[in-house]
Amino acid sequence: MLDIKFLRENPEIVKENIRKKFKDGKLPLVDEAIELDTKKRDANNEANALRANRNTVSKQIGALMGQGKREEAEEMKKLVSQQAERLKELEVLEDEYTARLKEVMMKIPNIIDESVPIGKDDSENVEVTQYGQQTNPDFEIPYHTDIMAKFAGIDKEAAGRVAGEGFYYLMGDIARLHSAVTAYARDFMIDKGFTYCIPPFMIRSNVVTGVMSFEEMDAMMYKIEGEDLYLIGTSEHSMIGKFIDTITPEETLPLTLTSYSPCFRKEKGAHGIEERGIYRIHQFEKQEMIVICKPEESMDWFNKMWSYSVELFRSLDIPVRTLECCSGDLADLKVKSYDIEAWSPKQKKYFEVCSCSNLGDAQARRLGIRVRGEDGSKYLAHTLNNTVVAPPRMLIALLENNLTFDGEKYSVRIPKALQPYMGGTEKIVQK
């Protein structure tokens, strides 16, 4: 969410930013916000004037009563009563203008970084670089759920009976591999100096609206009926929410946290091979990283965070590339974002496995996350988040890129980094 003072003084900059994001339908929101802000401030000024006048008149009434001028005092009381009614009206208007202004401001996109490429949608995202040699084995790689099935590692049919589409049972070596990946990712981030955390898996509505746009909220979040609680779509939500309405001493920054959680999302697969299987599901687990830092340090942390993802995937022998999200592909709160994509030898293309985002002070403004400087001044922190690993997609990449076939049976090489988490196992073999 933007600073209303910035919007008031720079409406054309805000409108141009909206055009860069190809969201012209939101242009009227700028003028509406300015109008609401003007009305709110006018109502506030008139109300303050009436409050000040009420104190003055009250003293005058007391003086008149002391002088025995009862009739004049009664007339003054009538004036006070009239002003009190007007003050009530103004206070109602102030609340209405404030609520509507907040609603409008939360729909206006954040100002993107000047380095972000301009484009309409994800088809215009820009490849930054590739890491690792693309694997292209001399045998046909099965679909990822078929690979899992060969190791007796997945049961979607039973999950369908229990919970419906978009769920699965992981079994045996595949389930163990899943747990090994999350444990390795946890320790990988701890070694980078991040503090490990397991957060609440449900959050209140004020936290939801603080960490994401209305569009994302409607498309992703599961509401708990009868309670002001939502299931988290990613642990970033509750981790950023941890700092709601707090003031952090500047000398303790940056705050670097890595969190594990299950994630719950409404999303259903669209079309194409990558949308089936376990690529898009309603429940999965994820290791996340978040940083809360000083504004001048946020871009340095952004670059560190996406590079950690690249390093982790390369340590598991998975080729990856980084894509910079263009303006039209950025969610409204984001200043800058990179997608990390893993190579799929089955599909002969890359697919998204991580998303690293710098949100500037947008979440901090919504949630009241402030920093106290050494001089006692207070300012808004910057927040960033990035996926460490989301095992469903990581498993796809790991299995496809480490699959071998001897003509009879399939095996999966276990990368050295994962072997300690698999009891020293160097490979798993088809059942």
CATH number at residue 336: 3.30.930.10
Tokens coding 117? 């490429």
Please work out, in degrees rounded to the nearest 5, the angle formed at the alpha carbon of residue 326 by the alpha carbons of 321 and 329. 100
| Beta carbons of 119 and 326 less than 8 angstroms apart | yes
Residue 64 in any domain: the answer is yes
Distance CA 316, CA 415 (A): 5
The answer to whether the CB of 377 falls within 8 A of the CB of 388 is: no
What is the arithmetic mean of pLDDT over 366-377?
96
Q: Among 105, 130, 156, where does a domain finish?
A: 105
Q: In this structure, is residue 293 part of a structural domain? A: yes
Residues 126 and 94 placed together within one structural domain of the fold: no
Alpha-carbon span 178 to 254, nearest angstrom? 31
The CATH number given to whatever domain includes residue 50 is: 1.10.287.40
Asked if the structure places residue 351 within a domain, the reply is yes
* Claim to verify: residue 33 and residue 138 sit in the same structural domain: no
Last residue of a domain, one of 105, 138, 158: 105
Are 79 and 127 within one domain?
A: no
Q: Confirm whether 294 is domain-assigned.
A: yes
212 and 341 belong to one structural domain: yes
Number of structural domains (the chain) is 2
Is 94 in the same domain as 172?
no
- Least confident range of 10-14, 89-93, 213-217, 294-298: 213-217
For 19, the token pair is 């055009």
Query: 216: pLDDT confidence band, cut at 50, 70 and 90?
Result: confident
Which residue would you say has higher pLDDT here, 80 or 48?
Answer: 48
63 shares a domain with 129: no
Distance linking the first and last C-alpha atoms of the chain = 53
Position 117 in a domain = no
> Is 114 a domain residue?
no
CA distance 359 to 293: 11
Question: Is 112 a domain residue?
Answer: no
Same domain, residue pair 76 and 137 = no
Contacts of range 90-94, beta carbons closer than 8 Å, 24 or more positions apart: 90/43, 90/44, 90/46, 90/47, 90/50, 91/47, 93/39, 93/43, 94/40, 94/43, 94/44, 94/47
Whether residue 412 lies inside any domain: the answer is yes
Q: Give 62's pLDDT tier (boundaries 50, 70, 90).
A: low
Whether 171 and 29 map to the same domain: the answer is no
Would you say 44 and 94 are in contact if contact means Cβ atoms under 8 Å apart? yes
Given 71, 105, 139, the domain boundary residue is 105
pLDDT of 284 > 70? The answer is yes
- pLDDT (tens digit per residue) in 344-362: 999 999 999 999 999 999 9
Q: Give the pLDDT of residue 319.
A: 97
> What is the spatial distance between Cα 388 and Cα 286, in angstroms, rounded to a whole number?
8
Percent of the chain with pLDDT over 90: 81
Mean pLDDT of the 34-55 span: 88
Same domain, 282 and 410: yes
Binned at pLDDT 50, 70 and 90, residue 61 comes out as: low
Instruction: Tell whether 101 and 197 lie within a shared domain.
Output: no
70 and 190 belong to one structural domain: no
How far, CA to CA in Å, does 145 sit from each of 137, 181, 205, 317, 430? 18, 18, 36, 20, 13
Which structural domain range is residue 226 located in? 122-429
